[in-house]
Chain A
């Protein structure tokens, strides 16, 4: 079982909208109440996936970039929230 110390890897770099959002929502739903996820995605998916994550009330921390690929560090659950936009 994942904990906040062992991030769940979610790779949606080969998916297109709306499956990008669907897979992120499924991963969030399946994750424990408190968990960290690393969401790997292409730039084209950024807007909709980030909007989905914000709507689900999770926190996005660090952002890494490798060319057209981004990795979002996502924190789910009580005690991890920062200011939401």
Chain B
């Protein structure tokens, strides 16, 4: 096989190992979700076509290593028959990660696997200028690390203070982990620094008088993050998006922006460094109705 043939296999998730003419085969899944039937099929495939083991990747993926070249096609056919697809590599949209979301986690604000599933359906494996990763965290606890993705989403609750019944007890300011709440007892009011707010909602949960209530609630978006050799945290773009549809509209705009302005082997964050974040914000404003 020549390098071109190996590269083609790699793009389809079949990556050549360093020794023995073997391949590590990446599988397609999203949000770390598998049915038990799929899990059993992967185990059987690893036994029949690989070396009897699997590798859990750092982004909720699974690879079956130690597969010979001759076994690649039978492995793919076997897994396809059990509703398990092949993964991708190269300049494509990669595995969409997600936490368990509102269906499982009491802290979650958004249905993370649901959004991840739709992102996966729209984008998985599609060609883009360079590798492109998406992840969805259900809340400010950020278990799925939204900021380390090219595009990350995070469940968000912005507080709003209403003066009725407030007893200026200082609990909201005490529980705020970032000092975004200041109680001004002499003025009998509470000041919010929404630029510093991390959208956790602790001040709302802890308010004993009902004076701190939910303001904007939904999806926060981060763009341009990555880890790897030179880590870079994604930057927040757009406002708090109240619905799944608006979150998806912004995702569409971000991918489109990358396709228009990204260069080969340039991650999204580097593209944004060239264009400036303002250009992206303006583009989102043109393509969506997202709040700024």
Question: Do A and B come from the same complex?
Answer: yes
The number of residue pairs between A and B whose CB atoms lie closer than 8 Å in the complex comes to: 42
**Partner-A contacts on B (CB < 8 A):** 165, 167, 169-171, 174-175, 202, 204-210, 213
Interchain nearest-CB distance for B156 vs A (Å): 17
- Chain B residue numbers with a CB within 8 Å of A43 are 174-175
Question: How far is B206's CA from A50's CA once the two chains are assembled, in angstroms?
Answer: 6
Q: Mark A18-30, 1 if CB is under 8 A from B, else 0.
A: 0000000000000
Cα separation A19 to B171 with both chains bound (whole Å) = 20
CB–CB B207/A46 < 8 A: no
With A51-B205, A85-B207: A63-B165 Cβ-Cβ less than 8 Å = no
B-binding residues in A (CB < 8 A):
43, 46-47, 50-51, 54, 60-63, 65, 70, 72, 82-85
Check A46–B174 contact: CB distance below 8 A: yes
A85 to B210, CA, bound (A): 5
Beta-carbon contact of B210 and A63 below 8 Å: no
- Bound-state CA distance A43–B170 (Å) is 11
- Contact assessment for A63 and B205 in the assembled complex, using a CB-CB cutoff below 8 Å: no
Q: Which of A46, A61, A65, A84 contacts B210 (CB 8 A)?
A: A84
Inter-chain contact A50/B205, CB cutoff 8 Å: yes
A54 and B210 alpha carbons, distance in the complex (Å): 10
Contact B169 A63 (CB under 8 A): yes
What is the CB-to-nearest-CB distance from B108 to chain A, in angstroms, rounded to a whole number?
15
Tell which of A51, A62, A65 touches B206, judged by Cβ atoms closer than 8 Å.
A51
- Report whether B174 and A83 are in contact in the complex, using a CB–CB cutoff of 8 Å: no
**A47 and B205 within 8 A (CB):** yes
Q: Among B165, B169, B170, which residue has the most Cβ atoms of chain A within 10 A?
A: B169
Is A70's CB under 8 angstroms from B205's CB? no
Q: Decide if B208 touches A50 in the complex (CB within 8 Å).
A: yes
Closest Cβ of chain B: how far from A83's Cβ, in Å?
A: 5
Q: Return chain A residues, CB-CB under 8 Å to B208.
A: 50, 60-61, 63, 72, 85
